Structure 1
Amino acid sequence: MSFEAFDKRINKDIGLIYLENILSHTSYIIRELDVKPLNETKVYNSVKHVIKATFPDYISLSEPFYKEAKCYKPDILIPSLNVAVEYKYATDEARLIKTIEDILIDVLGYSNHPVYKIFYAVFYVRAGVCTQQRFNILWNGYKFPEHWKPIFVNGE
């Protein structure tokens, strides 16, 4: 059943649950597709098919976040949920920290958009690089706004 089949009153809440479930299962999706996740693009390109099947208004590689000096391009947009998704890929803890800091820049770049109000930062991290507990400590240390939600995915 596609996302459009739900009553409009509950679309957003149920849609966010569906989306979070898909994003948190990124590693499973990649494994099932037999993709070798060597970079950020391979990771989110694998997941976008599931998102596209669930959310018909899915948009990829758009440029809705124009600022004076730069245009910000989220990896996935779902207008019906007012959601933008940014994927990050890390093979070691130093790179993970750098990607978290990159999201800090996106916080300012994605702010004050008339449609997108909820932002997911999905961190696909090679197995053994970091634990969920360590990731939470790193993320919380940066004091992100509440409308930015991290999802830590332990990859292969």
Structure 2
Amino acid sequence: MLEININYAPQISLLKDIDEQLTDAWNSVYKLQNLSEHVDHENGTNEDYDEEETYFSSKIQRIHLSLCLLLESLGYVQLLQDFKSGYSAYSGNPTSCSPTRDGDFHSSTLSYFWRFHKTTSSLINLESVETDERKQRVLLEAILRNTPKIVHDRKITPNSEAEVRNCVYDLLIHVFPDTMREIPVPQVTKTYKADLGVPSLKTAAEYKYATTEEEARKIIGGFYEDMRGYAGSEDWKHFYAVLFMSKPFFTVEQIRAEFAHVGADKNWSPILVHGEGTRKRR
């Protein structure tokens, strides 16, 4: 086994870059899945889908080139030949994504790249636990972004935050068995409770629900208190602020701009979604 030292610094840097490229490429797969629902099946066209597919294709090409360069620079001649030979099975249609039994898109090309990335990581004795966690967080984020579809598939029209949250929880426990609800995060003067959390990923999600623009505006401001409440926790390092709106009152770009303006914690990511929803009259 090769030892990590300064002589392998360029290869380690390249390996980490490939890791980031793979994460970005998997994100692209999840975007293609969402966009596929809006493709004009009669004409077979969708501008956003075509643009994302082009981006995904460029990612595939770059990862392939990076892996070839990595294996060559490490002197693994036979492994490089095996990689190129095996890739021929995917090179004809490298961006092909097929739905799994659960309906989620899967890329065989990326899975092939991942196996070689994982093998090479072990060969240079590089810890890849963080890489695995990052990939799992990408999957978790994709599920959170698909909240409206999850709720719709349950055939309900929610009228509260709890109903939305419970629909997502019922799905998450099958993907991440350690998913928890109302996780206590103690501070000096108060114990906060995160709506959903996956301890193995140190990731929590705070769900909010709005049926008016004014309500949504207040909720966005309320996220800042949550940020302070969860700050400094060693058990939870990554957070998602999920706002389910009955109409698209705001865009996620607006919220990101506001987060940046007020200096929000970098480990908080906003997710804005909208779907059918009502509010119970008191």
Which TM bucket (shorter chain)?
Answer: 0.7 to 0.9
Helix, strand or coil at the partner of 1:68: coil
CA distance in structure 1 between the partners assigned to 2:154 and 2:258 by the alignment:
30
The separation in 2 between residues aligned to 1:143 and 1:44, in whole angstroms, is 27
How far apart, CA to CA, are the structure 2 residues paired with 1:144 and 1:80?
Answer: 24
Aligned match of 1:102: 222
1:133 positional shift:
4.5
Q: Which runs of 4+ in 1 moved over 2 A?
A: 7-11, 128-143
| Deviations 1:68-111 (CA, angstroms, capped at 9, x unpaired) | 32211001111111101100111112111211111100111101
The one-character-per-residue Cα deviations of 1:88-144 (angstroms, maximum 9, x if unpaired) are: 111112111211111100111101111100010101011243344444445444331
Higher relative contact order (CA 8 A, sep 6+): 1
CA distance in 2, matches of 1:28, 1:101: 26
Tell me which of 227, 240, 249 is aligned to 1:129. Answer: 249
How many matched pairs?
150
Question: Which segment drifts farther, 108-117 or 137-146?
Answer: 137-146
Provide the rounded CA distance (Å) in 1 between the counterparts of 2:182 and 2:248.
30
SS in 2 for 1:97: helix
Q: Is the 8 A contact 1:97 1:138 kept in 2?
A: no
Which residue number in structure 1 is paired with residue 78 of structure 2? none
* Aligned twin of 1:54: 175
List gaps (5 residues or longer) in structure 1. Answer: 2-6
- Which structure 2 residues correspond to residues 66-77 of structure 1 after superposition, within 5 A? 66-77=186-197
Unpaired segments ≥5 residues, structure 2: 1-99, 101-117, 119-127, 277-282
Aligned partner of 2:157 among 36, 52, 56: 36
- Which one has the bigger strand percentage? 1
Indicate how the Cα distance of structure 1 residues 11 and 72 shifts in structure 2: closer, same or farther if over 3 A, else same. Answer: same
